[in-house]
């Protein structure tokens, strides 16, 4: 399977969750890690070991690891039943993708960070550009007429065997009264690839945490 095809499969599942994620406690509280700005050298957080993959991710202190059952219960408690059922179905589909899914949730802000240890992919700058085009098309197909999205930033740093690819979108709906941010990161290094999906109530600068990933 070609690299772009592999990316398209993962991006479809990553974006699908964001289209129904509107009310997952989003907007409850803006916490300290959300004030991190570009240029900040030191950030507070802790490492979490991904036991199935020998990888350590660095996340803000307020993020806690959730089991699938715990996260599903959180969805049920924070979302109306139709949205909770849709999210539970989606997270179950993600768990069936190749690789391992690790779930982290920040109760204070309602933010979710999903970490995927996925099959190794060398990602070139051209792959990243094609990936952005697919993201735009798939987002347009997934969002309903009352919702809108805006690309905030997209960046590729490195080369195919050692790179970070980042894209951030704002998704909003006046009719449904929500606004949130969906950040996607793909990191390839040392013959491993890790993907992150971060969903937050406000725009955040998460790069310093991603850069501390230990593969």
- Top pLDDT among 20 and 90 is at 90
Domain boundaries defined on the chain = 3-211
Q: What pLDDT was estimated at residue 27?
A: 47
Is pLDDT at 135 greater than 90 in this prediction? no
- Top pLDDT among 208 and 83 is at 208
Contact yes or no for 117/97 (Cβ under 8 A): no
Is pLDDT at 144 greater than 90 in this prediction? no
Is pLDDT at 19 greater than 50 in this prediction? no
Is pLDDT at 148 greater than 90 in this prediction? no
Q: What pLDDT was estimated at residue 94?
A: 80
Report percent pLDDT > 70 for the chain.
86
- Top pLDDT among 197 and 147 is at 197
What CATH number does domain 3-211 carry, 3.30.420.40, 3.40.1000.10, 3.40.50.720, 3.40.190.10?
A: 3.40.1000.10
d(CA 25, CA 185): 23
Confidence of residue 6 (pLDDT cuts 50, 70, 90): low
Condensed to tens digits (0 to 9), the pLDDT of residues 44-78 reads 999 999 999 999 999 999 999 999 999 999 999 88
Name the pTM for this structure.
0.88
């Amino acid at each position: 399977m070609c690299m772009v095809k592999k990316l398209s499969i993962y991006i479809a599942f990553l974006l699908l969750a964001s289209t129904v994620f509107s009310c997952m406690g989003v907007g409850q509280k803006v916490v300290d890690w959300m004030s991190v700005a570009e240029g900040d050298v030191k950030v507070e957080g802790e490492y979490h070991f991904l036991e199935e993959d020998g990888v350590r991710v660095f996340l803000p202190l307020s993020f806690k690891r959730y089991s699938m059952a715990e996260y599903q219960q959180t969805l049920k408690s924070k979302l109306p039943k139709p949205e909770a059922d849709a999210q539970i179905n989606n997270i179950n589909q993600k768990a069936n993708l190749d690789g391992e899914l690790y779930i982290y949730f920040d109760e204070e802000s309602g933010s979710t960070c999903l970490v995927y240890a996925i099959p190794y992919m060398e990602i070139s700058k051209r792959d990243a550009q094609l990936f952005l085009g697919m993201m735009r098309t798939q987002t347009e197909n997934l969002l309903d007429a009352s919702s809108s999205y805006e690309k905030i930033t997209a960046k590729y740093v490195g080369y195919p065997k050692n790179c970070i690819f980042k894209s951030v979108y704002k998704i909003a709906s006046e009719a449904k009264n929500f606004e949130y941010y969906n950040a996607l990161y793909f990191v390839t290094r040392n013959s491993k690839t890790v993907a992150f999906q971060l969903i937050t109530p406000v725009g955040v600068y998460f790069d310093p945490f991603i850069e501390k990933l230990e593969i």
